[in-house]
Structure 1
Amino acid sequence: MKLARIGAPGRERPALVDPAGRLRDLGAHVSDITPALLAPAELARLKALDPDSLPLAADQDARLGPPVAGVGKIICIGLNYTDHAAEVGLPLPVEPTIFMKGCHPTGANDPVTLPQGAEKGDWEVELGIVISQGGLYINEARALDHVAGFCLVNDLSERSYQMERGGQWTKGKSFPGFAPMGPWLVTPDDLPGYAEAPLWLEVNGHRYQHGNTRNLVFGVPAIVSYVSRFFRLEPGDLIATGTPAGVGLGQKPPVFLKPGDVVTLGLQGLGTQRQEIRAWPADRPT
């Protein structure tokens, strides 16, 4: 099952993506796709619906917002692809490297504004995990029971903040708009190949990232279980699982985002994203 939220920011409506890729209106069954709707019983209720019985959304080209409203924590796993760790010159972690993003998710195709005075804006295509049932000390063997679904995430960064302002990753990862999410939330039964899925990212049509989730150092069950040792996971939490090689920082010489760039990315089964990069407006209050 693929769930989406369509419409203007703050006024999104719930939708289901049918097998033909058309948006179906879920408004008669749910008011929104919220963390509470991610409970297994609620998802089962939606899965039981016949897509053909749902009306087609009036605007099939509507904006796609974040597929879950009210996402809680955004927890990220760093250096989780062997090739990415090598390109930035860091050893493979013996345990998952965890950091946070302090922003809210935006829509898959919403424009991205760089921070004031940005110097080193960067990109990272990632597989995202959305939590259904929370908890502490989740058993790895049962970890997928706590996963509502998967989504595509672009873990954007301002590397100068991350690496040159006290070495704090969260500082460089949290500017508003730095977490495009979606276009859909795909339940695990509809993405059986999540553990061996190609993912890619291009800037202005040039492919910089081309990887596969089979190269994750720590897989989805291990990540969910491990993170739950340190955080109480809650419904609607988003875990970004890391990125393959090809980030801007890893290019020789490095390549960073600038206003006017267009970033496109995708992951097999999870759709695609497209973001236009903009400058911080000179007249915007600081």
Structure 2
Amino acid sequence: MRYVRFILDGKKHLGAREGDKIRILGEASLESLLAAGVDLETYASQQTSGRLVSEADITFLPVVEHPAKIFCIGLNYADHTKESKYEQPTYPTIFPRYDTSLVGHGQPIIRPRVSDTLDYEGELAVVLKKGGRHIAKEDALDCIAGYALFNDGSVREYQFLSPQWTVGKNFDATGAFGPELVTASEVPAGAKGLLLETRLNGKVVQSASTDTMVFDIATLISVISEAITLEASDVIVTGTPSGIGWAREPKLLMRPGDVCEVSVTGFAPLRNTIADEAEASGSVKAPRAA
């Protein structure tokens, strides 16, 4: 099944893809269904009375608008670690994202007015249907509801103002998430063997196999659960490969009017334009990094 979350006629809806159309399933969110223990593999097939609409008629929302938690994984592809001038960690680099930073497919990623260092990071995200503590690696994949695409838009200037990356990874409307949740049964176990690519204005800037993750998805679920209780609708954003704009010379940063697209084998692509944050009267700009 492939689920989408969207606005139509001023209301939020959940839908499921049927060919080139989307069937309206109602107003429930994926996070509410997951929290209630609903089986997403079969739910859509039981909701057949909703009307079919065209993708052109809807406004996409983040596929999960308010996850219980969002964990992002840094330095999870060795080639990206190398280009970032870090030593490869032997333990996953974990940092949070917050739902105020999320934006849907087809909606603009916002370059903040306090910085011009907005960079792309194409990634695969995992959405959980259940969790717990001390989840064994061999049981971890059973916790997955499905997968979606993510663009971990990063304001580099703020990311490196401190040893913790959280602020630079959480500017409003910088984390694109969608366009669809593909349930686990439609994806190879652990999302192995998929080609992840990012394109900026049509040019491939990142390309790697998910097989080259340093910590695979089952390991990430198991390791995080050693410390933190995982819950239904938690999201794990699994890391980006090499090719980020910040590591290039000259740097390749996202500008208003640019189009950034993330694709993974078997998924509808996640595509967003870049727009500047609207100026507000009385605002004070933050200091620039040295």
Cross-structure match for 1:37: 33
- 2:22 equivalent to 1:23: yes
CA deviation after TM superposition for structure 1 residue 41, in Å: 4.4
Letter in 2 for 1:36: S
- 2:139 equivalent to 1:146: no
| Equivalent residue in structure 2 for 1:60, among 51, 55, 72 | 55
Cross-structure match for 1:275: 272
1:137-166 Cα deviation digits (max 9, x unpaired)? 111111112111110000010000011x12
Cross-structure match for 1:82: 78
SS at match of 1:76: strand
The aligned length equals 279
- 2:164 equivalent to 1:182: no
The answer to whether the 8 Å contact 1:116/1:279 transfers is yes
CA deviation after TM superposition for structure 1 residue 59, in Å: 3.6
Q: Percent identity?
A: 32
Task: Give, in whole Å, the separation in 1 of the partners of 2:142 and 2:9.
Answer: 31
CA deviation after TM superposition for structure 1 residue 85, in Å: 0.8
Task: Give, in whole Å, the separation in 2 of the partners of 1:251 and 1:265.
Answer: 19
SS at match of 2:11: coil
Cross-structure match for 2:91: 95
Task: Give, in whole Å, the separation in 2 of the partners of 1:126 and 1:102.
Answer: 16
Cross-structure match for 1:6: 6
CA deviation after TM superposition for structure 1 residue 197, in Å: 0.5
TM-score with structure 2 length normalisation?
A: 0.89
SS at match of 1:7: strand
CA deviation after TM superposition for structure 1 residue 284, in Å: 5.8
Q: Which runs of 5+ in 1 are unaligned?
A: none
Distance 1:267 1:284, change over 3 A: farther
Cross-structure match for 1:157: 154
1:182-240 Cα deviation digits (max 9, x unpaired)? 11111110112621101111112221111110110011100111111222111111110
Task: Supply the RMSD in Å over aligned alpha carbons.
Answer: 2.1
CA deviation after TM superposition for structure 1 residue 103, in Å: 3.9
The answer to whether the 8 Å contact 2:131/2:231 transfers is yes
The answer to whether the 8 Å contact 2:14/2:30 transfers is no
CA deviation after TM superposition for structure 1 residue 168, in Å: 2.3
Which is strand-richer, 1 or 2?
Answer: 2
Q: Which runs of 5+ in 2 are unaligned?
A: 284-290
Task: Give, in whole Å, the separation in 2 of the partners of 1:199 and 1:133.
Answer: 26
Letter in 2 for 1:5: R
Cross-structure match for 2:169: 173
Task: Give, in whole Å, the separation in 1 of the partners of 2:261 and 2:37.
Answer: 32
Structural mapping, 1:238-249, within 5 Å: 238-249=235-246
Moved more, 6-15 or 77-86: 6-15
Task: Give, in whole Å, the separation in 1 of the partners of 2:231 and 2:9.
Answer: 24
Distance 1:6 1:41, change over 3 A: closer
Distance 1:277 1:44, change over 3 A: closer
Distance 1:90 1:178, change over 3 A: same
The answer to whether the 8 Å contact 2:65/2:99 transfers is no
Moved more, 192-201 or 91-100: 192-201
Distance 1:92 1:130, change over 3 A: same
Task: Give, in whole Å, the separation in 2 of the partners of 1:109 and 1:155.
Answer: 15
Letter in 1 for 2:179: P
Cross-structure match for 1:262: 259
Task: Give, in whole Å, the separation in 2 of the partners of 1:90 and 1:8.
Answer: 45
The answer to whether the 8 Å contact 2:6/2:13 transfers is yes
TM-score with structure 1 length normalisation?
A: 0.90
CA deviation after TM superposition for structure 1 residue 10, in Å: 8.0
Moved more, 218-227 or 87-96: 87-96
The answer to whether the 8 Å contact 2:112/2:171 transfers is yes
Letter in 2 for 1:58: V
The answer to whether the 8 Å contact 2:120/2:245 transfers is yes
Distance 1:45 1:245, change over 3 A: same
Cross-structure match for 1:121: 118
1:158-181 Cα deviation digits (max 9, x unpaired)? 000011x12320010000112111
